[in-house]
């Protein structure tokens, strides 16, 4: 088999080429499928985040509101937010997250993240710190 025939066979088996200044590199199809699949998994993960201490405090506030009958499972998100904000002290992490000093736009964004978290926890990723 000639060099050209071997190269053609190699290209056909691998299917995917990556061009660089040094030349074209061919990547096995299975590797490309795995890499693309992994990238798609990363992209489909929640991109919005909330700190764990804020999420924990939020959960505690909701639990307290449920046990006190201030909200029910059929209450809308606005009712949840009203009950949560009414009971917060200025020094709580949740309050600081929702109403950061000197940044109304950031606070609005954070409250929207909390809305989404309340609607569906899969939309927001809880992170450390």
The pLDDT-based confidence of 2 (bands split at 50, 70, 90) is confident
Helix H or strand E segment including 65 = helix 52-67
14-18, 44-48, 78-82, 107-111 — which one is most confidently predicted on average?
107-111
The pLDDT-based confidence of 14 (bands split at 50, 70, 90) is low
Q: Which residues pair with 50 in a beta bridge?
A: 126
Tell me the per-residue pLDDT of 68-99, one tens digit each, with 9 for 90 and over.
776 666 666 777 777 777 778 888 888 899 89
Is this structure's pTM higher than 0.85? no
Domain ranges of the chain: 3-44, 48-127
Tell me the per-residue pLDDT of 24-73, one tens digit each, with 9 for 90 and over.
777 777 777 677 777 777 666 657 899 999 999 988 887 887 777 766 66
Burial of 58 (0-12, 13-18, 19+ CB in 10 A): buried
């Amino acid at each position: 088999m000639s060099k050209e025939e071997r190269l053609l066979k190699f290209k056909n088996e691998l299917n995917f080429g990556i061009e660089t200044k040094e030349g074209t590199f061919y990547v096995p199809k299975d590797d490309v499928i795995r890499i693309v699949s992994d990238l798609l998994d990363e992209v489909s993960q929640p991109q919005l985040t909330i700190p764990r201490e804020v999420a924990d405090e939020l959960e505690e506030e909701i639990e307290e509101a449920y046990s006190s009958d201030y909200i029910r499972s059929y209450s809308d998100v606005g009712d949840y937010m009203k009950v949560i904000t009414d009971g917060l002290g200025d020094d709580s992490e949740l309050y600081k997250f929702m109403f950061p000093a000197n940044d109304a736009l950031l606070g609005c964004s954070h409250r929207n993240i909390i809305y989404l978290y309340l609607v569906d926890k899969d939309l927001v990723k809880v992170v450390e710190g």
